[in-house]
Amino acid sequence: MKKVDTKIIYNAKDAAPLPEELFAAVKNGELAVIPTETVYGLAANGLDENAVANIFAAKGRPSDNPLILHISDIAMWETLVTNIPNNARRLAEKFWPGPLTIILPKSEIVPLKSSGGLSTVAVRMPMHPIAQKIIKATSLPLAAPSANISGKPSPTKLEHCISDMMGKVSYIVDGGDCALGVESTVIDMSGETAVILRPGSISPEQIAEVIGEVIVDEAVLSPLSNGDAPLSPGMKYMHYSPNAQVYIVKGSLEAFSSYLKDVSAEGSYAMVFDGEEEAVPLPSVSYGGKENYSSQANRLFASLRKLDKPEIKYIYVRSPAKDGIGLAVYNRLIRAAGFNIINLEV
């Protein structure tokens, strides 16, 4: 890829108007990293094949992994899909703007490059005011995957975006730390039954309250068996990983600490819950309160990035719970761990 001169727009408090040049660049097919309430996105015109191709190149993303189109109003959604079933509309009414992505059959204007060759398209209306302003000002549905290099933890802070995207995009727009910290819940509404393909801050329980039945896809919690085609292409790739080998450890804090006493390999670190640092025999980083799932979601990726250093070879992580937003945290961590789980439960 040709090296680009990246401009950073410092605007963490959303206090200043965004420059017209930014909107012009996006309309012109250029790339911009933008803040959303979930994670930072690597945005470009989702209807422009060349712009979309540049997103894939900047991330090093496999071309069969489809993108999410970000919209600012329902009228824009109607142009991107063939039909909006009632249940999809009810979910949008309840959770948009916000961290929910809805998959439906795509209309002709959505290029196959954006949808990774699929006949469906994923759409979400973000809540972050800066994301909304950019979509409104350009009147374009913006394709925006998480703004990390493919395979790395998603960026939740400006510094993560600078480290992954400097020299690859025209603009990086600062919007402060992301409020939620894990990517949106992705739900497929294109079939008879609604299926959650990726858990996020909006839980299966909350979705069931609005539409009744919803299934959580098996691939959310388990590795795909060889030869299985995933419903969500993103599920088949290694994800969210620092350089170190990550292990999820299930069981009590006592069992965790006593197991780690026998771990002597150099470069071993632990990721624990708040207040547990002193109880473990390895250097550690905490990633949230044990019962506070939102705080875990909020700090997960930044904690994994903190431990992404050449001298760190092994990371042992206290396992999160699997209910509510905990499911989203667990889903990201088992992928970071390549499904390596140490079970100390009795």
The entry of ligand TXA, Mg ion, none near residue 230 (CB within 5 to 8 angstroms by kind) is none
Residue whose Cβ sits closest to Mg ion? 146
SS3 344: coil
SS3 82: coil
Shortest distance in whole angstroms from residue 328 CB to ligand TXA: 10
Shortest distance in whole angstroms from residue 65 CB to Mg ion: 9
249 close to 259: Cβ distance less than 8 angstroms: yes
Indicate whether 38 belongs to the interface with ligand TXA (CB under 6 A): yes
Burial class of residue 237 (count of CB atoms within 10 Å of its CB; 0-12, 13-18, 19+): middle
What is the distance of C-alpha 178 from the center of its chain?
11
- CB within 8 Å of 279: residues ≥ 6 apart: 253, 257, 272
SS3 7: strand
Indicate whether 234 belongs to the interface with ligand TXA (CB under 6 A): yes
Indicate whether 331 belongs to the interface with ligand TXA (CB under 6 A): no
Cα–Cα distance between 200 and 296 in angstroms, integer?
A: 12
Indicate whether 65 belongs to the interface with Mg ion (CB under 5 A): no
Residue of 198, 299, 305, 335 that binds ligand TXA (CB under 6 A)? 198
Q: Which stretch binds ligand TXA (CB under 6 A): 5-13, 179-187, 221-229, 315-323?
A: 179-187
Q: Which stretch binds Mg ion (CB under 5 A): 98-106, 140-148, 264-272, 303-311?
A: 140-148
Q: Give the helix/strand (H/E) hosting 197.
A: strand 195-198
Q: Which stretch binds ligand TXA (CB under 6 A): 5-13, 65-73, 250-258, 333-341?
A: 65-73
The entry of ligand TXA, Mg ion, none near residue 331 (CB within 5 to 8 angstroms by kind) is none
Burial class of residue 13 (count of CB atoms within 10 Å of its CB; 0-12, 13-18, 19+): exposed
Residue closer to Mg ion by CB (options 146, 268) is 146
Cα–Cα distance between 294 and 139 in angstroms, integer?
A: 32
Binding mask 134-163 for ligand TXA (x = CB under 6 A): ----------xxx-----------------
Shortest distance in whole angstroms from residue 247 CB to ligand TXA: 24
Indicate whether 45 belongs to the interface with ligand TXA (CB under 6 A): no
Shortest distance in whole angstroms from residue 257 CB to Mg ion: 33
Nearest 5 degrees, angle CA 122-CA 125-CA 128? 135
Q: Which residues in 163-189 are b (16+ Cβ under 10 Å) and which e?
A: ebbeebbbbbbbbebbbbbbbbbbbbb
Indicate whether 146 belongs to the interface with Mg ion (CB under 5 A): yes
Number of Cβ within 10 Å of residue 24's Cβ equals: 12
The entry of Mg ion, ligand TXA, none near residue 333 (CB within 5 to 8 angstroms by kind) is none
The entry of ligand TXA, Mg ion, none near residue 284 (CB within 5 to 8 angstroms by kind) is none
Residues 103-122 that bind ligand TXA (CB under 6 A): 103, 115, 118, 120-122
Indicate whether 101 belongs to the interface with Mg ion (CB under 5 A): no
* Site size with ligand TXA, rule: CB under 6 A: 29
Q: Give the helix/strand (H/E) hosting 100.
A: strand 100-105
Determine the length of the chain. 346
Assess whether the previous peptide bond of 97 is cis (omega < 30° from 0): yes
Q: Tell me the angle at which helices 204-211 and 86-95 cross, rounded to the nearest 10 degrees.
A: 130
Shortest distance in whole angstroms from residue 88 CB to ligand TXA: 14
Residue closer to ligand TXA by CB (options 101, 241) is 101
Shortest distance in whole angstroms from residue 69 CB to ligand TXA: 9
Number of alpha carbons in the 13 Å side-chain half-sphere of residue 82: 9
- Contacts with ligand TXA by CB under 6 A lie at 36, 38-39, 41, 65-68, 99, 101, 103, 115, 118, 120-122, 124, 126, 144-146, 183-184, 186, 197-198, 232-234
- Contacts with Mg ion by CB under 5 A lie at 146
